[in-house]
Amino acid sequence: MTTLNAITIAKVAKLLPMLTSDKDGEVIATARAVVRVLAKEGATVHDIAAKLEAQPTERIVYRDRVVYRDVPKAEPKKRKPRKAKAPKATPPPSEPERDPNNDYTITSRDITRDGLSVLEAGGLTANEESFIESIMRQARYGGDSFRMTFRQADWWRRILDDSGVIDPRQPREAA
């Protein structure tokens, strides 16, 4: 067995990844290049295989740590098992407090009731009618979790004010 110097080992190490190519011609050319590099040193592929098999790992143990002279194969990191989290119980949605100046207090029930009254009264522009139908649809599918944005609530109140059918500032009794 011929001893291989560090330069030859470095050259072969650069060539080995090219053996994984999808192109058969590149793989063959790389294999031939490895054989040529080894032949210049008077070595063969068998010498590399023997060197890889005979890699003794010397270990020096100190009180606080272990030092390896030859780097051993890396061990996979052990992960700590995750603790299962208990699902959070969500309380049922509650009726928001009535505040006529707060855009989040218009409930889906109010939207459906008031929207139908305004649509039946008529006199709306196409945009207003489309807006009311859209908000009613969102409120119906969103249920108690539906909330309007500030701009939506502002426009909603202006439409109700202009229609004269409903005074949006007056508290409504539950149906």
Query: Has residue 90 been placed in a domain?
Result: no
User: What is the structure's pLDDT at 153?
Assistant: 84
Query: Has residue 137 been placed in a domain?
Result: yes
Residue 160: Cβ-neighbour burial (10 angstroms; 0-12, 13-18, 19+): buried
Query: Has residue 79 been placed in a domain?
Result: no
Contact 70, 57 (CB under 8 A): yes
Which pLDDT tens digit goes with each residue over 71-125? 556 666 777 777 777 777 766 555 555 555 554 467 788 888 888 888 888 888 8
The structural domain count of the chain equals 2
Q: Helix 108-121 and helix 126-142: axis angle, to 10°?
A: 150
> Domain span at residue 117?
108-163
> Tokens representing 161?
């004010």
For residues 114-140, average pLDDT = 87
Contact 104, 96 (CB under 8 A): yes
Half-sphere exposure of 131 (CA within 13 A, CB side): 17
Query: Has residue 97 been placed in a domain?
Result: no
User: What is the structure's pLDDT at 175?
Assistant: 45
Query: Mean pLDDT score of the chain, rounded to an integer?
Result: 77
Assess whether pLDDT exceeds 50 at residue 35.
yes
Considering the domain architecture, whether residues 64 and 118 belong to the same structural domain is answered as: no
Higher pLDDT, 18 or 86: 18
Higher pLDDT, 167 or 7: 7
H or E element in which residue 21 lies: none
Query: Has residue 73 been placed in a domain?
Result: no
Residue 42 DSSP symbol: T
Query: pLDDT band at residue 157, thresholds of 50, 70 and 90?
Result: confident
Higher pLDDT, 3 or 168: 3
Query: Has residue 131 been placed in a domain?
Result: yes
Residue where a domain stops, chosen among 19, 40, 68 = 68
Query: Has residue 22 been placed in a domain?
Result: yes
Helix segments in the chain, DSSP class H = 6-15, 24-40, 45-53, 108-121, 126-142, 150-163
What's the Cα-to-Cα distance from 32 to each of 17, 27, 29, rounded to whole Å?
A: 14, 9, 5
Assess whether pLDDT exceeds 90 at residue 29.
yes
Query: Has residue 157 been placed in a domain?
Result: yes
Residue where a domain stops, chosen among 20, 49, 68 = 68
Alpha-carbon gap, residue 148 to 18, rounded angstroms: 61
